Structure 1
Amino acid sequence: MNVAFYSAAAGMLACQEKLDVTANNMANVNTTGYKNMEVSFQDLMYTDMNTKAEGEHKTGHGSHVAGVDSVFLQGVLEKTDRPLDFAVAGKAYFAIDDGSGTTSYTRDGSFRIGMSQGAPYLMNAVGGFVLDGNGNKIQVPVLKGTTTPDVNALKGQIGLYTFENPSGLTMMGNNLCRVSENSGTAVSVKSSEGHWLVSGALEASMADTATEMIHVIESQRALQMNARIVTSADEVEEMINNLR
């Protein structure tokens, strides 16, 4: 019964983490450029049963969460007609200097103009500087004789970066991610190299409420089943301990 108890307890922990990831996906249904997170499971170790029968007889010990990864899929581009909104068609990312000393990356192209040392710079929604293909901050060009941003010139300055494995990027919050060992290093690419920059549009979130609700129901049922096994195993152990 100890095997049943601990196997089910491990299953409950795995289901709880799955629910946490699903809740995070649902919270980002309206987050621009959001990529779904998915949980992968793995069996825990198997041990030999105490039996004299021929052949291998293994006892499993449940499962655990092997990893949580983002699933990179192209989202739908939604027209906004806002000049400083940009979307990427392809697998490239925008680079952001968020002031931490480490470059972050995002698919969220809802930019704005912010002032720094008396000059206008292109920034993201939380005040980070958008970088060009050389890793430099972008000073916003304006049309001659006006204060209107020159969107066409600005579009040519925005840097795009790709990764060998974008699903391996580490999520940092505020719709930003960073390079990890699994993602590979960032490589600057041009807009014409299979990655197109679209102005006046934003990439929609890949999270779908209906799909995530199905995941919630599946995880809840698995959690309830494991909880019943834990209760049953505990009751059997109590009966054994009370035998005289």
Structure 2
Amino acid sequence: MDRSMMTAAVTMNQLQQGLDLIANNLANLNTNGYKSRSATFSSLLAQNMTRQPDETVNLGRLSPLGIRLGTGARVADTRLKMDQGSIRTTGRALDFALTQPDLFFTVSTTGQEGLATTTTGFTRDGAFYLQPDANNPRFLNLVTASGQFVLDENGNRIRIPGDYAEIHVDPTGEISYKTRGGQNVAVGRLGIVQILRPQLLKAQGNNVFVLPDLQALGLVVGDVIGPNIANQPVVQQRALESSNVDLSEEMTKMMTLERSYEFNARSLSVADDMLALINNLR
């Protein structure tokens, strides 16, 4: 294949991945606690073209000094942007917003095989709900919008009696409920962790992240999850964190990538026309 066609085709494929990333960000513009991703591009393998050192071979070839010929560009990295989204008041008792950008709620997620195996997931979406416990209908489990169990600081499910009158969460994440008789009963503390290396998190869907295979990376859990943040005021009840997607920034990136895609498509078309012209020479 002609080098110019190969360069354009490879680059167009990678630009499409960048456009897909922007489309995903825009689709989650109104998703609670969503963290946008940005792509960076780099050149693919390039070759240095030098003058022919042997004058008896390819005599007359005089390549310009220092010229480099590459085969297009690729998506080098996608980074999770951890900027804090704006916090909006909702007035709903089961809406919680984290006030620091590196913190996550812990939830229980199903294993990749879809079996009963579970693992700990992390989310910034604090829109929680109450769901009847399958084993004891008199109790309610605190769950996410997609039905995943919200965990406490010890990794256990958070359960509240179904006849509660009111739920309260203080700024440190301590949960309590008021009985019909007006008595306050402590339930536990929301499981909130600090992620030291958010770029290692893997998106699992439903606005939830999981840890990668740390052993394969030569890491332990302590390298990614920070120390206990108990007694720190990091939760705001009756409020939610908005997505941190910047609409104007995403639109600007999209127009830039679309323009680059157009240039490469035009390059591919011109190269094809030139090859057709050569093939039709008599």
TM-score (ref. length: structure 1): 0.89
CA deviation after TM superposition for structure 1 residue 50, in Å: 5.9
CA deviation after TM superposition for structure 1 residue 13, in Å: 0.8
CA deviation after TM superposition for structure 1 residue 190, in Å: 2.3
Once residues 146 and 236 of structure 2 are traced to their aligned partners in structure 1, the CA distance between those partners, rounded to angstroms, is 21
Once residues 195 and 235 of structure 2 are traced to their aligned partners in structure 1, the CA distance between those partners, rounded to angstroms, is 17
Conservation of the 8 A alpha-carbon contact between 1:72 and 1:167: no
Structure 1: segments with no counterpart, 5+ residues: none
Give 3-state SS (helix, strand or coil) of 1:215's partner: helix
CA deviation after TM superposition for structure 1 residue 126, in Å: 1.2
Once residues 21 and 167 of structure 2 are traced to their aligned partners in structure 1, the CA distance between those partners, rounded to angstroms, is 41
CA deviation after TM superposition for structure 1 residue 12, in Å: 0.6
Does residue 96 (structure 1) correspond to residue 107 (structure 2)? The answer is yes
CA deviation after TM superposition for structure 1 residue 188, in Å: 5.6
Given candidates 175, 178, 193, the residue that maps to 2:207 is 175
Does residue 59 (structure 1) correspond to residue 69 (structure 2)? The answer is yes
Aligned pairs for 1:37-56 within 5 A: 37-49=37-49, 51-52=51-52, 55-56=65-66
Once residues 5 and 226 of structure 2 are traced to their aligned partners in structure 1, the CA distance between those partners, rounded to angstroms, is 49
Out of 43-52 and 114-123, give the one that drifted further.
43-52
> Structure 1 vs Structure 2: percent identity of aligned residues?
32
Deviations 1:195-244 (A, max 9, x none): 61111111010113222222221111111000000011111122222233
Out of 219-228 and 119-128, give the one that drifted further.
119-128
Instruction: Looking at secondary structure, tell me which structure has more helix per residue.
Output: 1
Does residue 16 (structure 1) correspond to residue 13 (structure 2)? The answer is no
Q: CA RMSD in A?
A: 2.3
Once residues 190 and 141 of structure 1 are traced to their aligned partners in structure 2, the CA distance between those partners, rounded to angstroms, is 27
Does residue 114 (structure 1) correspond to residue 131 (structure 2)? The answer is yes
TM-score (ref. length: structure 2): 0.78
Conservation of the 8 A alpha-carbon contact between 2:49 and 2:65: no
Once residues 192 and 2 of structure 1 are traced to their aligned partners in structure 2, the CA distance between those partners, rounded to angstroms, is 64
Conservation of the 8 A alpha-carbon contact between 1:140 and 1:149: no
Q: What is the total number of aligned residue pairs between the two structures?
A: 240
Q: Which structure exhibits the higher relative contact order, with contacts defined as CA atoms closer than 8 Å and separated by 6 or more residues?
A: 1
- Relative to structure 1, the CA distance from residue 236 to residue 51 in structure 2 (aligned partners, 3 Å threshold; closer, same or farther) is farther
Give 3-state SS (helix, strand or coil) of 2:82's partner: coil
Deviations 1:75-123 (A, max 9, x none): 1111111111111111110011134312111000001111112221211
Give 3-state SS (helix, strand or coil) of 1:134's partner: coil
Give 3-state SS (helix, strand or coil) of 2:204's partner: strand
Aligned to 1:76: 86
AA in 2 matched with 1:237: L
Once residues 18 and 157 of structure 2 are traced to their aligned partners in structure 1, the CA distance between those partners, rounded to angstroms, is 39
Structure 2: segments with no counterpart, 5+ residues: 53-61, 112-117, 177-187
- Relative to structure 1, the CA distance from residue 125 to residue 39 in structure 2 (aligned partners, 3 Å threshold; closer, same or farther) is same
Aligned pairs for 1:1-244 within 5 A: 2-49=2-49, 51-52=51-52, 55-90=65-100, 91-100=102-111, 101-116=118-133, 117-118=135-136, 119-140=139-160, 147-152=164-169, 153-154=174-175, 157-180=189-212, 181=214, 184-187=223-226, 189-193=228-232, 196-244=234-282
AA in 2 matched with 1:172: Q
Once residues 238 and 5 of structure 1 are traced to their aligned partners in structure 2, the CA distance between those partners, rounded to angstroms, is 13
Once residues 106 and 114 of structure 1 are traced to their aligned partners in structure 2, the CA distance between those partners, rounded to angstroms, is 19
Conservation of the 8 A alpha-carbon contact between 1:70 and 1:168: no
Deviations 1:129-177 (A, max 9, x none): 10111111111268xxx62243135175101112221133111111111
